[in-house]
Structure 1
C-alpha cells in the first residue's frame, strides 16, 4: 500500500493541492453570499482530502465543466469534480461517482413537448452549456433535434429565453430554481440521463488515483457526502451507491 507521503507527492507534485471547482453546477459548489469564496460538497471533499494528506488546498473556480476539462491540458489543477464521460476519460481518471444528479429539460409552460422523448424530433432546438456532461451525452444520443451551445449552463438558459428555443437541457436543481423564479416555464418529469459526478485527477498519477478511489468510497460510506449535501442545501441530490 502506498504511504500518504507517496500519494501526496503523486497527487500534488507542486506541494499544494490545486483544486478546480465548477461553480456552474450549483449541486456541487456555490459562491458564499458574503465572502464569494467557493462552498459546497466539492469544496468540503477537497478540504478533507487535503487534511488527510497534510496538504494545503488551493482553489481555482470555473463557470463551466467544459472549461475545467479544457484546463487539464495546461496542468492547471491536481483534482477536479466532474461527470463521468467517455470523452473526458481519454485525458483524466475518474473515481466511482459520489453523487448522481438528473439531466432534464426546461420548456415553456405551454410547450407541446410533454415528455423527454418528445424533444428528439426534427425542428426542435435545444440549448446546452458547451462541454457540459449533458452536452456530451446529447451530442451522442439526439438524432433529430438541433443543439445550440452557449459558453456555460447559465448562458444556455439565457440563450433559450432570448432566442425562444424549444428547450434547454441541464441539471434538474438549477432548472427548477430558475423556473420557480420566472413565470411561464416548466421542468419536465423524468430525465434523459443520470449524471454521475466523480472526483478526477489527470492521467498518469497512479498512486494518487488509487488513493482517491478509496477516499471517495469511504466518504460515501461514512456519511460525509450526505452531510455535505445537507449543509449546502442540496439534500435532494442522491448519494451514489
Structure 2
C-alpha cells in the first residue's frame, strides 16, 4: 500500500509538473528518452543488473544504454560525474552525498575458496598469522576483509573478465591460501581448481541497490523505487539471477 501511494504521488506530481512546463519524474530519470545505467562488469552485478535495467527502461519508455565499469574502483569514482542516469551496484559503493539509493534488490554472499591441501573448517579459522588471503582490489570483499582481518595477510589483485581463473591460478601457485570474494567468483574458482573447496559459511554480504544522482526530486526517487520494487516482485531479478546460474545470490524480500 505504501509503494502504491508513492507511485500515485509520483504520477500526480509528474502530471502537475508537466502541466506547468516542468520536467516529469520519468524525464528526470531518463532525460530525452534514454536511460544510461552504470554497472560493474561482473556476473553477480552487471550480469543481473542489465536485464533488470531493461525492465525499468521499458516501463519508462526509454532506450537503455549500459555504462559498464571494469572494476569497483572505477564505478565508485563515477559518482558525481554525470556519466549515467541511474546506477545499479553495491550499496556500500554509492556515496550518500552524491546519490540517493533505492531499497535493496539482491544480496551476494562473500565466500572463501581454500587452496588444495589446506584445512579451514570455518570462517574464523582463516584469520590466523601466516595465512594469506587473496581478494579483488577495491571490491566490497576487500572492504570487509580490510576492516575485519586482524592477523592474516591480504593479497589484492585487480578485477578483470577472467577473475575466477585468476583466483584459481593464485591458489594453485601457492601465493595465497584462500581467496575471498563474492560467490560469483568464489564458486567458479573452486570448480576450476581440483582439490579447492569453499570454506563453510560466509564472511559477509553485499547488498545491491539502484541509485539516482543527488538532487533528483522526491517524485523521481519514489517512481524509481516503485519500478525496482515491481521488478523484484514480478520475478525479473530472480530470472536474471537464474539465467546466470549464480550460487549465493538471492533476491532481497521485504
**TM bucket normalised to smaller:** 0.7 to 0.9
Gaps of at least 5 residues in structure 2 are 1-8, 15-22
Answer whether contact 1:67 1:131 (CA < 8 A) is retained: no
Root-mean-square deviation (Å) = 2.5
1:9 aligns with 2:27: yes
1:193 aligns with 2:204: yes
Kindly tell me: are residues 115 and 236 of structure 1, through their superposed partners in 2, closer, same or farther at Cα, counting changes over 3 Å? closer
1:151 aligns with 2:167: no
Relative to its length, the structure with more helix (as a share) is: 2
**Within 2, Cα distance between the matches of 1:167 and 1:180?**
14
1:172 aligns with 2:180: no
**Within 2, Cα distance between the matches of 1:93 and 1:6?**
18
Q: Give the Å deviation of 1:91.
A: 3.3
Kindly tell me: are residues 163 and 208 of structure 1, through their superposed partners in 2, closer, same or farther at Cα, counting changes over 3 Å? farther
Gaps of at least 5 residues in structure 1 are 30-39
Q: Give the Å deviation of 1:221.
A: 1.9
**Within 2, Cα distance between the matches of 1:89 and 1:148?**
29
Selected match of 1:230 from 228, 232, 242: 242
**Within 1, Cα distance between the matches of 2:93 and 2:65?**
28
Q: Which residue of 2 aligns with 1:82?
A: 89
- Bigger Cα displacement from structure 2, 64-73 vs 44-53: 64-73
Q: Which has the larger radius of gyration?
A: 2
Selected match of 2:45 from 28, 35, 59: 28
Answer whether contact 1:98 1:197 (CA < 8 A) is retained: yes
Q: Give the Å deviation of 1:143.
A: 2.2
Selected match of 1:218 from 230, 233, 242: 230
Q: Give the Å deviation of 1:94.
A: 2.1
Q: Give the Å deviation of 1:190.
A: 0.7
**Within 1, Cα distance between the matches of 2:172 and 2:247?**
29
Q: Give the Å deviation of 1:161.
A: 4.6
- Bigger Cα displacement from structure 2, 57-66 vs 97-106: 57-66
**Within 1, Cα distance between the matches of 2:156 and 2:214?**
28
Deviation per CA, 1:102-147: give whole Å up to 9, x if none. Answer: 1011121321333111122233222221221111222222222222
1:58 aligns with 2:65: yes
SS in 2 for 1:2: helix
Kindly tell me: are residues 210 and 141 of structure 1, through their superposed partners in 2, closer, same or farther at Cα, counting changes over 3 Å? farther
SS in 1 for 2:24: helix
Q: Which 4+ stretches in 1 moved above 4 angstroms?
A: 158-163
Q: Given the two structures, how large is their TM-score scaled by the length of structure 2?
A: 0.79
Kindly tell me: are residues 231 and 71 of structure 1, through their superposed partners in 2, closer, same or farther at Cα, counting changes over 3 Å? same
- Give the count of matched residue pairs: 230
Task: Map 1:102-117; keep pairs closer than 5 Å.
Answer: 102-117=109-124
Q: Give the Å deviation of 1:240.
A: 0.8
Q: Given the two structures, how large is their TM-score scaled by the length of structure 1?
A: 0.83
Q: Give the Å deviation of 1:163.
A: 6.0
